[in-house]
Amino acid sequence: MDVIVSLENATIYQDQKPVLMGVNLSVEKGSFVFLIGRTGTGKSSLIKTLYGDLSLEEGSGSTVGFALNGLRDRDIPQLRRKIGVVFQDFKLLPDRNIKENLAFVLRATGWKDKTKIESRILEVLQMVKVDNALGKFPFELSGGEQQRLAIARALLNEPELIIADEPTGNLDPQTSIEIMELFKELHQKGMTLLMATHDYNMILKYPGKIFQCEDGKIFEVVAQ
């Protein structure tokens, strides 16, 4: 199997302090991997290291073919074009409607043809089932709709990997299940997913490997 993400004997830092040590992690193409653990156990720091927001100082690792050791600033935009990142707080542009939010990302990543931009926007919105709200602004959408839009944004450039950092953290239980079902559908279509969450009970019904961050370590959990 192709390995999309790998970390070998890595130490993950946050604010110059080690939060995870001796990290060995492998994510294979087409897999669904969960990172669980309480707030402050290093999940988000690990994820930020994988998309180049934090540097990897000790150990070795790679994400979608990019070595994380000594990752140059000029390489980070290329890395991020191959991955889609979904955040807890959506990070949508409040002064732009749905169509403009997505078009902004496509233009920023090199798309120029207006027809192709509009076609791709409609395609991803249909995938996440919010294609009926093209002209709405983020504040006009429910939390679940905003997160669906954030997932659509992550899908725009047909990424090799989706990284989701607490994607249901700001959602009510029913909406959280709907978002998890959407991720499940994407996985069934062949998408590789890595998700950080503190909600262990919610992920038990979804197929995938589970890794727990605790006391500065990470280890695989075998679901009962």
Residue 224: its pLDDT value, please? Answer: 57
Among residues 130, 139, 52, 45, which one has the least CA distance to residue 92?
Answer: 139
Domain ranges of the chain: 1-82+192-224
Residue 118: its pLDDT value, please? Answer: 93
CATH assignment of 1-82+192-224? Answer: 3.40.50.300
Q: Tens of pLDDT along 8-60? A: 999 999 888 999 999 999 999 999 999 999 888 999 999 999 999 999 989 99
Residue 222: its pLDDT value, please? Answer: 79
Among residues 205, 212, 165, which one has the least CA distance to residue 36?
Answer: 212
CA gap 113, 132 in Å, rounded:
23
Residue 191: its pLDDT value, please? Answer: 94
Torsion (CA) 113, 119, 125, 126 in degrees, nearest 10: -160
Phi, psi of 11 (to 5 degrees): -110, 125
Q: What residues in the chain have per-residue pLDDT under 50?
A: none
Residue 99: its pLDDT value, please? Answer: 93
CA gap 68, 76 in Å, rounded:
10
Residue 223: its pLDDT value, please? Answer: 64
Cβ atoms of 56 and 49 within 8 Å: the answer is: yes
Residue 62: its pLDDT value, please? Answer: 96
Residue 183: its pLDDT value, please? Answer: 93
- Please, how many CA atoms are within 13 Å of residue 86, restricted to the half-sphere of its CB? 31
Among residues 14, 7, 50, 10, which one has the least CA distance to residue 195?
Answer: 50
CA gap 125, 84 in Å, rounded:
15
SS3 161: strand
- DSSP assignment, residue 95? T
SS3 60: strand
SS3 65: coil
